[in-house]
Amino acid sequence: MSSQRIYRTEAIIIRRRNQGEADRILTLCTPMGKLAVIARGARKVRSRKAGHLELFAHVHLVLARSRSSWDVVSQAETVAPHAALRDDLARGTYARYVAELYDHFVAEGEGNPALFDLMVRVMGYLCREEQLPLLVRGYEQRLLAQVGFRPEWEQCVGWEDHADGQPLEATGEQLFGLDPERGGVLCPQCFRTHRERRGVVPLSPAALALLRACQREPFVALRNWPATPQLLREVERAAQHYIAYHLEREVRSGAFLQRLRREGGI
């Protein structure tokens, strides 16, 4: 990072909280990594910056470095407001989940341009796409790959000498397994052997095929995947099970999404 006192960056505002009587602390996803900055006076009625510092907005910022506290927002200009993510409950909840995953997996000062580009694309898609569950499943797989927790969906992770170099066929009626500790899929034979191990859960062939697609297909292709509501729920449970294992916690907005679905809110 440059040593100049004033610097510029693009950012997605992934979290914000009040500070003192009129300030806001913003957590940002930027090409330089995750940053926490302070927007002084942003809660004042006449603040010119306030309208540009909305949650989930894509913004261009001018920041001043501080040696003793957070860097300070000097100027802010909206690139894309992403207003739909604040006006629509379902879209907004998915956006919170996307932002929370980034916040949990990426430490302050860490990150890269690829993660920022991923966040920009996903926030834009969440504003206009209809197949939000599929979109978010694709985001999960890409984020996991970027932060070093890429699941193995092609070959069995059950035995060290088991893999023959050929991908598993995601077909048939036998259940596969998901072993988050070993980092991926178990073939039906290994699943039967290890199904009593803590953390191992069943995975249908259709769910395995969809998880593979979410890992390697572009977002625009996922929208046409023939996924039933039951299959989407299974893949969501599998993805969140894997994520919770590696985070050592549940993602709160993910649990809220499931509750909204049960209550018919989305």
pLDDT at 151: 98
- Find the angle CA(217)-CA(218)-CA(220) to the nearest 5 degrees: 120
Dist. CA 181–CA 233, nearest whole Å? 22
Q: Per residue in 71-95, is it b (16+ CB within 10 Å) or e — as a string?
A: bebeebeeeebbeebeeeeebbbbb
The answer to whether the beta carbons of residues 80 and 58 sit under 8 Å apart is: yes
Domains of the chain: 1-128 (2.40.50.140), 149-262 (no CATH)
Nearest partner of 58 among 136, 149, 121, judged by Cα: 121
| Burial (0-12, 13-18, 19+ Cβ within 10 Å), 5 | exposed
31, 139, 219 from 142: Cα distances, Å: 16, 5, 11
Dist. CA 179–CA 195, nearest whole Å: 9
Q: Are 37 and 26 in contact, with CB atoms under 8 Å apart?
A: yes
pLDDT tens, the chain, 266 aa long = 455 799 999 999 999 999 999 999 999 999 999 999 999 998 887 888 888 999 999 999 999 998 888 999 999 999 999 999 999 999 999 999 999 999 999 999 999 999 999 999 999 999 999 999 999 999 999 999 999 999 999 999 987 666 566 789 999 999 999 999 999 999 999 999 999 999 999 999 999 999 999 999 999 889 889 899 999 999 999 999 999 999 999 898 888 888 877 777 66
The pLDDT score that the predictor gives to residue 162 is 65
What is the pLDDT, as a whole number, of residue 165? 61
Residue 141 has which token pair? 């797989």
Task: Mention every residue, 6+ apart, whose C-beta is less than 8 A from residue 241.
Answer: 178, 180, 199, 201
Instruction: For residue 17, list its beta bridge partners.
Output: 25
In this structure, which amino acid lies at residue 6? I
| HEC secondary structure over 87-138 | HCHHHHHHHHHHHHHHHHHCCECCCCHHHHHHHHHHHHHHHHCCCHHHHHHH
Residues in the chain: 266
Pairing mode of beta strands 71-80, 33-39 = parallel
Contact 83, 57 (CB under 8 A): no
